[in-house]
């Protein structure tokens, strides 16, 4: 398995027979080198979106068109994006889709979701979510944008994820301290990868508090476009 950080909350996950782009916000992302867009998306088989905000979903249509691949997301968002002439797969919380040898389950998150990157007022885009990605004997929990919540205890019982991709930048989501609390309280992660930080001044610029709070856990903090092999 290879996990490559695309900056902010975007990841390229090469797992089993799939290359998944999770929340691939590239255009306008201040920490992503625009000259490396083709490299970042090459060979992708699916796009997965946790919610509709521009810093997660605004590139989905363009990438889907370029590569001829579907976008998998919540039902309402799938209808909106499908109206742009791309293939979408809509599903809901508790639902599981099978992508080749990979299973993806949508789980709850606590945030908001809208199309906020077009002219005019934000457009309702279904509920915010997290994802459980299961293959190769591993389960990756992608938290999406969220705060700590008791539901995470149920996620741990149902899915037992060993890899956590956790938002930790604060202001819009849980910060490093809260992400660490969630990891210790509810999960037994072997690897944690922070995200939704370092992008803007209002967000945390370092994941060191998360690292310090999780002794015994491999907290990996890759640079943008650096690949973690698991």
For the residues 146-152, what does the mean pLDDT come to?
Answer: 98
- The region of weakest confidence among 71-85, 106-120, 160-174 is 106-120
pLDDT band at 122 (very low <50, low <70, confident <90, very high): confident
Question: What is the layout of strands, in order, in the sheet containing 138-142?
Answer: 96-99, 102-108, 129-135, 138-142, 163-167, 191-195, 218-219
How many Å apart are CA 44 and CA 100, to the nearest integer?
A: 13
In this structure, how many other beta carbons lie within 10 angstroms of the beta carbon of residue 68? 8
Arithmetic mean of pLDDT over the chain: 97
In this structure, how many other beta carbons lie within 10 angstroms of the beta carbon of residue 177? 16
Residue 97's nearest CA partner among 84, 110, 107 is: 107
Question: What's the pLDDT tens digit per position in 18-69?
Answer: 999 999 999 999 999 999 999 999 999 999 999 999 999 999 999 999 999 9
Residue 49's nearest CA partner among 8, 98, 79, 10 is: 10
Let me know if domain 2-220 sits in CATH 3.60.150.10. no
pLDDT band at 120 (very low <50, low <70, confident <90, very high): confident
How many Å apart are CA 141 and CA 178, to the nearest integer?
A: 16
Assess whether pLDDT exceeds 80 at residue 180.
Answer: yes
On whether the pTM is more than 0.75, the answer is yes
Element at 112 (helix H, strand E)? none
How many Å apart are CA 175 and CA 169, to the nearest integer?
A: 5
């Amino acid at each position: 398995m290879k996990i490559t950080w695309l900056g902010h909350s975007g990841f390229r996950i090469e797992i089993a027979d799939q290359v998944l782009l999770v929340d691939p916000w590239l255009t306008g992302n201040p920490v992503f080198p625009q000259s490396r867009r083709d490299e970042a998306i090459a060979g992708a088989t699916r796009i997965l979106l946790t919610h509709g905000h521009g810093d997660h979903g605004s590139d989905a249509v363009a990438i889907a068109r370029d590569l001829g691949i579907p976008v998998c997301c919540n039902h309402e968002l799938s209808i909106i994006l499908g109206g742009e002439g791309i293939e979408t797969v809509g599903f809901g919380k508790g639902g599981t889709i099978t992508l080749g040898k990979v299973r993806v389950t949508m789980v709850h998150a606590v945030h908001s979701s809208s199309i906020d990157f077009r002219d005019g007022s934000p457009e309702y885009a279904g509920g915010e979510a997290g994802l459980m990605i299961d293959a190769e004997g591993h389960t990756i929990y992608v938290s999406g944008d969220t705060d700590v919540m008791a539901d995470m205890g149920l996620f741990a019982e149902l899915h037992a994820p060993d890899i956590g991709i956790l938002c930790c930048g604060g202001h819009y989501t849980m910060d490093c301290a809260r992400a660490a609390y969630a990891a210790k309280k509810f999960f037994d992660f072997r690897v944690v990868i922070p995200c939704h930080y370092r992008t803007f001044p209002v967000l945390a610029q370092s994941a060191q508090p998360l690292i310090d709070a999780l002794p015994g856990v491999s907290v990996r903090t890759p640079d943008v476009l650096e690949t973690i092999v698991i």
